[in-house]
Structure 1
Amino acid sequence: MRQSLKRSLPLVATAVLALGAWPATAHALGGKEDNAPTRPGGDSSGNTLTAGVGTSVTVKQVSGGKSGGSKPVVAVDPNWKPPSCWYEPVATPEQLKDGVEKLKKGGDLVHVTPSLSWGEDLMVDHYEKGKKQSDGAEGYKNFNIGKDGKFWRGVMNPDVEDTFEARQCETNLFWQDAQEIPDIKNAPTPEILANYAYNKVKVPDTEVELKPEGKSTVKVPTWVWLDKGKFEPVKVRAELPGTGLWAETTAKPVSLHLDPGTSDAETFPSDGECPVNDDGSIGTPYTKGSSKEDPPCGIKYLRATGGKPYQMKASITWKITWEGSDNDGEHDLPDGTFEGTQDLNVQEIQSINR
């Protein structure tokens, strides 16, 4: 049975912003336990429990993005949000015991939630002597030494840690048997990892090729294109060590949207959406003799700039998908965009007197 949310906090504990229920059951892992450390820099000294509560999720770019920009894609759906918090394994019984032994000698308090730390009395009573908490949560005898598993704790997504939602993983440090994921709200899943990786996808800067370059002529089409290969799919992998959970999030370019920077212009196509060609390119490069043709992707300006260039915006739409350790195939995430701005001067048509 799940325990009551009510609990009284001793004066030695720091303030709690939100409280969660204690886990009651668990479900099996999808794969073998990863032997990687539960937290960067963590070891038997117990510093994983006292030095901080950052995530141990590893993120790496698997492919693409050779000319990656400095900003991630932005979700088209304004209602989409990255995961705010989740639970992770943080310490073996030996690590927890070591942390408490140091605490007894005047060491740092132990983080039992992202925003709550306990002192010696609470840690000894609950995790060493097995004392039940006031909310009914069962204690642990001798830190569960001899049992196969780890103690878990909530972590906040560092990208949104200043939000209220990030403070919803406040269940006190709890035990979970090996090869199992806690059956608790905000338990880690491949989908959570995929959404976390979404904000880590770095795509190439959106700077398009133009003809003519830098200066266009009124009522003469400006050709716009992107070479194939520069905007290849970008794949990012996120893994949670010690759980067998992973997800790969892939961003694939699907179209280029043109905003001339003025209402005195026409776009090609008329909606300004230039699709990705079969070979991965966008638009068609200008060739000699094409000046009288309408480009498949481009802009025709109807008024000169008059000294101040137009701010032409080119934004790539990226289709975002993921697959992971759930072995359930490909899943969709909201499309993302990345925008670039280029100065464009437009001159009047030059007449020739005969």
Structure 2
Amino acid sequence: MKPSRSTALATAALSITLLTPSIAFAWGEGPGENANPPGDHAEGSASGSELGAAVSRSRIVVKQTGGGTAKPSSGALAAIDPNWKPPACWYEPLATPQQLKGATEKMKKGDLFSVNFGRRWGKSLLVDAFDKGEPTFTDTPTKNYNVGKKGMFWRAVAREDRADDPEILDCSENLFWQDAGTLPDDPNAPTPETLAEYAYNKIRVPETEIELKPQAKSTVNMPTWAWLDKAVFKDVTVRADLPNTPLYAVTTAKPVALHLEPGTPDAKTFPASGDCPVNEDGSIGAPYTKGSSKQDPPCGIAYLRATNGKPYQLKASVTWEISWQGTGGAKGDLPDGKFETTQDMNVQEIQSINR
């Protein structure tokens, strides 16, 4: 693909403001919701004053395919590396020839079509570029919308959480044609890694609810044992597919460590770092057994001061190691993720009587 014709765009006085539009083509409302465009016989549709405007809504379909047998968490994993940022934008298939033709023909006066971030064309510009083949505004002008040819029109997409990030302007191409079975020759073309990075914050791991003994109330200077059952904390896998391309990625989150923070400096953790590694069988720590009350647990806490009406907030966070593999044998690693929860801890002090 040739470089974008920014000069021509400026001449056409097109808006370059960033948008958060809400209206999309009828066949692609979002991942998992009719995300695959219908066949080439579809006529397309227009709705309201804008057409095809959801440039911040990807059509990547993400499904959890394994693990997470416990109650899944309501939140996403937080990347441990604060400097890691997945791509802000990439290109995706949007419409077949007949869909674009039908949608354009149904446009009314005042209707606009988003061909890129903040670039919205009226019917006349769409007709010039994709029906009449005028090359001024696109690097892939077409005649009669390429009806009868195999392929689709592609458009830039921005991550919803970065729709106002200036980096989305790296995806500067307007709506363009791509032959079937090919991917754009562009640095921002989607890859299996793009899909894996998109799926990162779609991973839902089990809630971090650790087992404790004693459970109801701890005692000053007596160790509280903590553990996670191997049957609960298994690898979690999600699969991401980009419809109308061969691209997919399977992302795996593997629990590798539990970290405990007692919620008060008047406590000590076991191990001293508070980091409890995963055992070979997949469990973390060890369950309390009768007669072990005076032993140091492999994973646990000893509170040194009793609570006084207000429980300590025990914070438990599990580190998840993230890897992926996808189309063509591609594979790699993503930054470790963390998911944490808090639990109330009441601590009592046993009074002894000296005679």
TM range (shorter): 0.7 to 0.9
Say whether residues 1:339 and 2:340 are aligned partners: yes
Partner Cα separation in structure 1 for residue 84 and residue 179 of structure 2: 33
Contact 2:44 2:100 in 1 (8 A): yes
**CA RMSD of the aligned region, Å?**
2.5
Counterpart secondary structure, 2:259: strand
Tell me, in whole angstroms, the C-alpha distance in 2 between the residues paired with 1:143 and 1:8.
Answer: 21
Output one character per residue of 1:18-69: Cα deviation in whole Å (capped at 9) or x when no partner: 9xxxxxxxxxxxxxxxxx9644999723239924333211010001112211
Q: By how many angstroms is 1:353 displaced? A: 4.1
Q: The residue matched to 1:271 in structure 2 has which SS?
A: coil
Choose the corresponding residue for 1:296, options 291, 295, 298. Answer: 298
Matched residues in 1 for 2:340 and 2:136: separation? 53
Q: Size of the alignment, in residue pairs?
A: 334
Cross-structure match for 2:27: none
1:65 alignment counterpart: 68
User: For 1:89-139, what per-residue CA distance to the aligned partner results, in whole angstroms no more than 9, with x for missing partners?
Assistant: 111211111122112x548322211422211221121111111216x8452
Cα separation, partners in 2 of 1:305 and 1:154, compared to 1, 3 Å: same
Structure 1 residue 108 corresponds to structure 2 residue 111: yes
Cα pair 1:181 1:187 within 8 Å, conserved = yes
Change (3 A) 1:336 1:43: farther
Cα 1:43–1:168 change in 2 (3 A) is farther
Alpha-carbon spacing, 1:42–1:83, altered in 2? closer, same or farther (3 Å)? farther
Who is 1:236 aligned against? 238
**Aligned residue for 1:214?**
216
1:306 equivalent in alignment to 2:308:
yes
Deviation of 1:10 after TM superposition, in Å, equals 6.0
TM-score, normalised relative to structure 1: 0.87
TM-score under structure 2 normalisation?
A: 0.87
1:331 partner SS: strand
Q: CA deviation at 1:85?
A: 1.4
Task: Please say if residues 40 and 56 of structure 1, whose CA atoms lie closer than 8 Å, have aligned partners that are also in contact.
Answer: no
Q: How does 1:58-207 map to 2 (within 5 A)?
A: 58-66=61-69, 67-103=71-107, 105-106=108-109, 108-133=111-136, 137=139, 139-207=141-209
**Amino acid paired to 1:120:** K
| Residues 115, 170 of structure 1: 8 Å contact kept | no
Q: What does residue 43 of structure 2 align with?
A: 45
Identity of aligned residues (%): 56
Q: CA deviation at 1:209?
A: 1.0
Rounded Cα–Cα distance in structure 2 between residues aligned with 1:227 and 1:14: 56
Are the aligned partners of 1:82 and 1:199 in contact in 2 as well (CA < 8 Å)? no
**Distance (Å, rounded) in 2 between the aligned partners of 1:172 and 1:47:** 20
Query: Higher relative contact order at CA 8 Å, sep ≥6: structure 1 or structure 2?
Result: 1
- The answer to whether the 8 A contact 2:41-2:98 is kept is no
Structure showing the higher strand proportion among its residues: 1
Cα 1:331–1:118, aligned 2, differ >3 Å: closer, same or farther?
A: same
Q: In the alignment, what sits opposite 2:2? A: 2
Find runs of 4+ consecutive structure 1 residues off by over 6 angstroms. Answer: 40-43
Q: Which residue in 2 is equivalent to 1:22? A: none
Q: Per-residue displacement from partner, 1:131-188 (whole Å, max 9, x unpaired)?
A: 1216x84522221223221111111112332333334423111111110000112111
Unaligned stretches of 5+ residues in structure 1:
19-35
Runs of 5+ unmatched residues, structure 2: 20-33
CA pair 342-112 structure 1, distance change in 2 beyond 3 A: same
Report if the CA contact (8 A) 2:203-2:238 is conserved: yes
